[in-house]
Structure formats: structure tokens, C-alpha cells
Amino acid sequence: MGYYRFVVFTCFLAFTVIVLGAYTRLTDAGLGCPDWPGCYGQLTVPATPDQVTDTAYLEQRPLEPDKGWKEMVHRYFAGILGLAILFITIWSWRRRRDDPGQPVWLPTFLLALVVFQAALGMWTVTLLLKPVIVMGHLLGGFATFSLLVLLALRAGRRRAQSAAGGLRIAAAIGLLILIAQIALGGWTSSNYAALACLDFPTCQGSWTPEMDFDEAFVMWRGLGVNYEYGVLEHPARTAIHVTHRIGALVTALYLGWLVLALLRRGGGLRGAAILVGALLLLQLGLGVANVLMHLPLGVATAHNGVAALLLISLVYVNFRLWRRQH
């Protein structure tokens, strides 16, 4: 397998880790193992409490093998992803000897990012699902996926697309808006606010439900608090949910305009614009379905996966617009 194909394979692996992470979080298995990197002091999940050699772990959390395996499968795939990125980094530096155009600092940064991402995974467990850590872990996963796609694009030597400066800036702004909305989604999920509103487009039958913004966006609440199933009162969760909805509206309007601008320009980005538009509509539909169907596991997991695909589609658009012409 050549360098480019291995990077593409690693992109698919990173996407798998994102989906597995979402599935783990949505099935409340984030604390399925009370320790890290093992599970109850072992590299696999004990089948019964009798197999746990250190009973201190059982005092922290009763053994639930089903949740433990969901968490460990996510860790196994994340570990393989980390090794793949390490291999890419070493390979990149070796290729640089014969190819001065070979990117080396991007894979090196990716390696540092995945190490930090592993630390966030550990803190997610040891800090008992602290929302700011969970959100950071989600963003780290999306960043890893996006940078791997960027590395694949650079390795594939894709041609640049000529464009006016205004369109380039508009695409970059669109990318930033989407990242902010993904962060809001992570904050909504980590605070268990997805079900704060069970109707659409209103919330709790009102356009202005009771909301507590002062409590909704407190990033740090000290140590020793178990955040499983959330600690916020309902008005604070409602504020988070409504903010995510408003963010979705802003994102949809801006990206919809960007898609139309790209289509009007035509050229080599027409297909990418159609893809962004299709993913945007799908993501909006999944978001509404999550509310009306009360967060079904398949739909909620897909909502995370499509967000990642929408992100890399915008990364691709920005790459084509901003890359220098040769």
C-alpha cells in the first residue's frame, strides 16, 4: 500500500473512531470502565465481578460488561488510529529525503494532536464526564479527521481552483461557523440537553420557554462531580438546546448561501457545492428527527457522523480555493 492510500485508509479509520465515540456516548457507556487505559485493571472487560482482581474499581462503579465493551472497542480503534498516525509521521519524514514537497509538519502536528486527544480521553473518564472535557474530546476527534483529510488532499496533489478573494474568505468563514456549531452540539450532548425540547419548531410548546443562560455555559464547575446524565436544571438545559437550534439556523442560512455562490461560479467546485448542500439538508433533517423521535440511537449517531462529513466537505472546498496555483 502506497503512502497516499494509507493516509486515505487512516481517514476512514478516524471517521470510524468518531462514530464509535458518538455511539459510546449516546449509550451512556462513557464510564463503562472506571479506569484508563484498561478496564477494571485489565486490557479486556471482565465478564463477572469475580474476575476483577482489584475490588476498589467495583467500589467506584459496578461492573456492566455491555457498557465496558462499548468503551473498550472505542479505545481499541482509537489506539490503532494513533499507531497509524505515528506510522504516517515517520513515513512522511523518510519520504522528505527524496521529495522536498512532502508535508512533514502537518503529520507531526497530527501526532501531537492524537497524543493530546488520548489525554482528553483519559480525563473524560477520570474527571467523570466533565462537559468541557467531553466537548474538547469530540472537537479533537473532528480536528484529527479533518487534518488527515487535508493531508490526503495534499498527498494527492489536487489542483487549486481559481477564485476571487471574497469567495475564499466566505468559505473560510463558513468553516469557522460550522466548527462553532459542532462545538455547540458537543456542549448540548455532554450536558444531556438534547431532550430538553421535545417539539419543533417550538420548545415545550413555546417560542420563549424558561431558560437559564447564566448556568448553561459555565465551563468549569470544580473537581469530583459526576456529570453522568447531567447536573444542570431543566431551564439551563433548555437554554443550551435553544442556542444549538439558533446556531443550526445561522449555519444553515450561511452555508446555503455559500452553496449557491459556489454553484453560480461553476467550475471544478460545482460537485463539491452540491455535496455540501446535500449533507447540510441531511444534517438538518437528522437534527429535527432527533427532537421529534426523542433521540433514537441510530439517528443521533448518524447526526454525529454527518456533521463530520459536512466538516470535511468544507475542508475540501477551502483547500481547493486557498491552495496556490502551480
Which grid cell sits at 14? Answer: 478516524
Which grid cell sits at 7? Answer: 493516509
Catalytic annotation present for 59: no
Distance CA 46, CA 63 (A): 8
User: Among residues 64, 71, 228, 233, which one is catalytic?
Assistant: 71
Question: In a 10 Å sphere around its CB, with 0-12 CB exposed, 13-18 middle and 19+ buried, how is residue 305 labelled?
Answer: middle
With DSSP H G I counted as helix, E B as strand and the rest as coil, what are the percentages for the chain, rounded to 5? Answer: 70, 0, 30
Distance CA 318, CA 143 (A): 15
Q: Residue 172 — φ and ψ, nearest 5°?
A: -65, -40
Q: Residue 232 — φ and ψ, nearest 5°?
A: -80, 150
The answer to whether 255 and 58 have CB atoms below 8 angstroms apart is no
Which grid cell sits at 94? Answer: 523518510
Residue type, 243: T
Q: Return the HEC string of 122-134.
A: HHHHHCCCCHHHH
Q: Residue 107 — φ and ψ, nearest 5°?
A: -65, -30
Contacts 24+ apart (CB under 8 A), 219-226: 219/131, 219/132, 220/132, 221/130, 223/127, 224/128, 225/128, 225/130, 226/128, 226/129
Residues designated as active site: 71
